[in-house]
Structure 1
Amino acid sequence: METWVGLDFVLSEAKKHKIRLILSLSNNWDAYGGKAQYVKWGKAGGLNITSDDDFFSDPTLRNYFKAHVQKVLTRVNTITNVTYKDDPTIFAWELMNEPRCLSDPSGDKLQVWIQEMAMYVKSIDPLHMLEIGSEGFYGPSSPGRLQFNPNTFSQQVGTDFIRNHRALGIDFASVHIYADTWVSQSITDDHITFVKSWTNAHIEDAENALGMPVLFAEFGVSSRDSGFNTSFRDNLVATVYKPVLESSKRGGGGGGALIWQLFPEGTEYMDDGYAVVLSKAPSTATIMSTQSKRLDMFSSSCSWRWGCKKRKDDEDLLDHDEL
């Protein structure tokens, strides 16, 4: 019960500060329970299941998850008295953080789950947007795009960026960027090269193949990586931001990019290596603030699929080549 009240408080505080939230409904990884917890419950209930990936296919486990979804979406906030599914503070729902199904590289099992759960979420809450939470790996449906994957393993994890996002009920595409996990944990120029191609490819596919915006919902670099320094992180952030801003300027599909992860002072003990404390990283803070202001400016004059109004003369001065 305390967990629910804690989430009520988060939503209440976010509303006060005019912050919109994306709430993830599950996790591929063990943190906070994840799909493995559903499997544990299933085994305890006598189900004959052998893999965490059975979360996606076992009818009982799917019903467990649906019960959880219904519980979350229909909860009434004890502070604001607003039902979650009616709360505009929630920007969107996320089906799962970084879903993978290694037992089925074809992607069929995960695709069926995405479609079923997307329709279920929408049956309860047709108003909020919904995204998958995907990392963005290309799969069998788009062999011509496999070249943009960071490695061969990524095309064997049961995900398929373009196919997954064609599921009914999915409103915008989600992509993550972790070159230091996928390419190499030693900082090299290859990271920047990969990030450029990865970001541009997904903006292009969001616009041309999917017809929807794309949000780079997580990206970052760990301070624990060999060769890490703040200058490299700033370069990485700018590398992600630039094509997103270029897309926004023309009313394209680049919806935004969210760095993983911001920490307030005093909470560094929870740092997983990716923490950014803005008061201690002024150069990174400046890049983020500048990007936010520019995106706000262009979003007021540009809209997805409708193009842009004529820019004012003073807007021409706000170039971003220095990013």
Structure 2
Amino acid sequence: MKTKFLKTTLIATLCFLFMACNAQKNYIKVDGTHFTLNNKTLHFVGTNFWYGAYLGADAEYGNRARLLRELDQLQKNGITNLRVVAASEESDYGLPLSPPFQYKNGTYNETLLKGLDFLLVEMGKRNLHAVMVLNNNWDWSGGMGQYVSWINNTPVIDPSVNKNQTWNDYLKSAGKFYELQQAQDIYRKYIKMIVNRTNTFSNKAYNNDPTIMSWELANEPRPSVDGDKDEKMKIFTKWVDETAGYIKLMAPKQLVTTGSEGSQGTLNSLEFTYQAHNTKNIDYVTFHMWPKNWAWYKAESPDMENAKKKTAAYFDEHLALAKKLNKPIVMEEFGFVRDGEKFSPDSPTTARDEYYIFVLELLKHSVETDGSLGGLNFWGWGGEGRAQQKDYRWKKGDMSFTADPYSEAQGLNSIYNTDKSTLKIISKYSKEIDKR
């Protein structure tokens, strides 16, 4: 009888250990400056696919058939990581992303949340991993500026449509987000809901789903530009640490990161970038790369060598910073315009292709040497989406999502499913890197 009891206990213990071990499989983890997946070093080529949940919604604006085709093509081209919008706010901006995940009255859009459920399930089937973006420094999804407007009961600063307002005016307003306790309470309430959500298709809790690689505090969060830089950076760093810690308590199996642009997003200071990531609650460093936006490249008088030189320098200094922190780093945004900054899918991509090769070679070199660059996500996947207006500008009622936010020309930075030369480059490098 005793022998039978011991045997039963041993079997139960082994089953528990097997289940516990199995439960940890397929989660992306961090080991020093490397990502790992199932005890193997991981590097990836990914894309920004912010509108994935919108396509996944069973609604007029959704298109599940297109979503499945997009995911199939991404998988075919070796893409394994998608950075997606997992939060948006009911917006007073003139060019809003609508409908939102979160309404002003504190209720949530269950139809859109089910679209996110659908997206995650279909990504899981294809071994794609998600970076879940929980807020936005910029206006196009509502974001921090909208939170400030809600709490202070003031009009939004909207330079996309109001030419009397500047982006510096906008940043001063949005930067108040970090110091408004009521805004933080609403933000955390949303975080708690989404991190603990149970997927209506898989019946799996989000915080127990290995499809989700990481939770990202926001798209390009920046410390306030209004006031003393050191003081504003202290406020920002505290917000990063405490918000990331809050998420980690609820999602210990998944990673957390900032969404930072790097020094361009921390008051042009690498030291501030270091401070923002120097907490145990942030698992890996992020940085972005925008040659045109940062005046490194002008399509009307192209100087590719200048763009490459400044890209390489920005790349090197951020990899060095990540090594100092002993954390992996991801270039989670980089984009480049078509030749002559045209928007038509038929326009050539000679310069873009050259720049993509340059950046992907940087990733390949890192993989072949120290490997601290864990991956990159190009901006962004336009796929089957196309501008619906002759001037390529989004208008209310347009529902053919591209990679470009509505404040930008539709086609500005989108990689379309017909961009054969660019897709050939992406596929070549992603498959080479995946083999290593």
Q: Name the TM-score class by shorter chain.
A: 0.7 to 0.9
What is the TM-score with the length of structure 2 in the denominator? 0.60
- Give the counterpart letter for 2:413 in structure 1: Y
Task: State the Cα RMSD in Å.
Answer: 2.4
Post-superposition Cα deviations, 1:190-245, rounded to whole Å, max 9, x if no partner, equal: 212111211122222212x1111111001011238559951211111122111221
Aligned-partner SS, 2:240: helix
Once the 2 structures are TM-superposed, how far is the Cα of residue 41 of structure 1 from its aligned partner?
Answer: 2.2
- Give the counterpart letter for 1:133 in structure 2: G
Q: How many residues align?
A: 278
Greater alpha carbon shift after TM alignment, 161-170 vs 185-194: 185-194
Contact 1:195 1:239 in 2 (8 A): no
Contact 1:91 1:128 in 2 (8 A): yes
Aligned to 2:313: 197
Aligned to 1:126: 252
Q: How many Å separate the matches in 2 of 1:224 and 1:120?
A: 44
Aligned to 1:59: 181
Aligned to 1:17: 126
Summarize the Cα distance change of 1:27–1:272 in structure 2 as closer, same or farther, 3 Å threshold: farther
Aligned to 1:155: 268
Larger Rg: 2
Matched, 1:261 2:261: no
Once the 2 structures are TM-superposed, how far is the Cα of residue 185 of structure 1 from its aligned partner?
Answer: 3.8
Once the 2 structures are TM-superposed, how far is the Cα of residue 135 of structure 1 from its aligned partner?
Answer: 0.5
Q: How many Å separate the matches in 1 of 2:298 and 2:203?
A: 46
Post-superposition Cα deviations, 1:24-64, rounded to whole Å, max 9, x if no partner, equal: 0100011221012211221249xxxx932221112221111
Summarize the Cα distance change of 1:12–1:159 in structure 2 as closer, same or farther, 3 Å threshold: farther
Aligned-partner SS, 2:141: coil
Once the 2 structures are TM-superposed, how far is the Cα of residue 170 of structure 1 from its aligned partner?
Answer: 0.6
Post-superposition Cα deviations, 1:121-164, rounded to whole Å, max 9, x if no partner, equal: 11111110111000011699xxxxxxxxxxxxx528x9922111
Once the 2 structures are TM-superposed, how far is the Cα of residue 268 of structure 1 from its aligned partner?
Answer: 4.5
Summarize the Cα distance change of 1:166–1:229 in structure 2 as closer, same or farther, 3 Å threshold: farther
Aligned-partner SS, 1:155: coil
Once the 2 structures are TM-superposed, how far is the Cα of residue 168 of structure 1 from its aligned partner?
Answer: 2.4
Q: How many Å separate the matches in 1 of 2:196 and 2:308?
A: 43
Q: How many Å separate the matches in 2 of 1:225 and 1:61?
A: 42
- Segments of 5+ residues of structure 1 without an aligned counterpart are 141-153, 299-323
Once the 2 structures are TM-superposed, how far is the Cα of residue 98 of structure 1 from its aligned partner?
Answer: 0.4
Q: How many Å separate the matches in 1 of 2:187 and 2:275?
A: 23
Aligned to 1:77: 199
Matched, 1:249 2:368: yes
Contact 2:367 2:373 in 1 (8 A): yes
Summarize the Cα distance change of 1:265–1:138 in structure 2 as closer, same or farther, 3 Å threshold: closer
Greater alpha carbon shift after TM alignment, 19-28 vs 268-277: 268-277
Q: How many Å separate the matches in 2 of 1:171 and 1:257?
A: 16
Post-superposition Cα deviations, 1:90-146, rounded to whole Å, max 9, x if no partner, equal: 111110100112225332221111011011111111110111000011699xxxxxx
Aligned-partner SS, 1:182: coil
The one of 241, 251, 264 equivalent to 1:115 is 241
Aligned to 2:423: 285
Matched, 1:41 2:150: yes
Summarize the Cα distance change of 1:261–1:182 in structure 2 as closer, same or farther, 3 Å threshold: same
- Segments of 5+ residues of structure 2 without an aligned counterpart are 1-109, 155-171, 389-401, 403-409
Aligned-partner SS, 1:23: strand
Summarize the Cα distance change of 1:201–1:3 in structure 2 as closer, same or farther, 3 Å threshold: same
Aligned-partner SS, 1:98: coil
Post-superposition Cα deviations, 1:11-33, rounded to whole Å, max 9, x if no partner, equal: 12211222111010100011221
Following superposition of structure 1 onto structure 2, how do residues 225-236 of structure 1 map, counting pairs within 5 Å? 226=341, 229-236=348-355
Q: How many Å separate the matches in 1 of 2:129 and 2:319?
A: 23
What is the TM-score with the length of structure 1 in the denominator? 0.79
Contact 1:94 1:132 in 2 (8 A): yes
Q: How many Å separate the matches in 2 of 1:233 and 1:297?
A: 25
Aligned to 1:214: 329
Aligned to 1:8: 117
- Give the counterpart letter for 2:127 in structure 1: K
Q: How many Å separate the matches in 1 of 2:332 and 2:262?
A: 10
Aligned-partner SS, 2:131: strand
Q: How many Å separate the matches in 2 of 1:38 and 1:214?
A: 29
Greater alpha carbon shift after TM alignment, 34-43 vs 181-190: 181-190
Q: How many Å separate the matches in 2 of 1:51 and 1:265?
A: 36
Contact 2:245 2:281 in 1 (8 A): yes
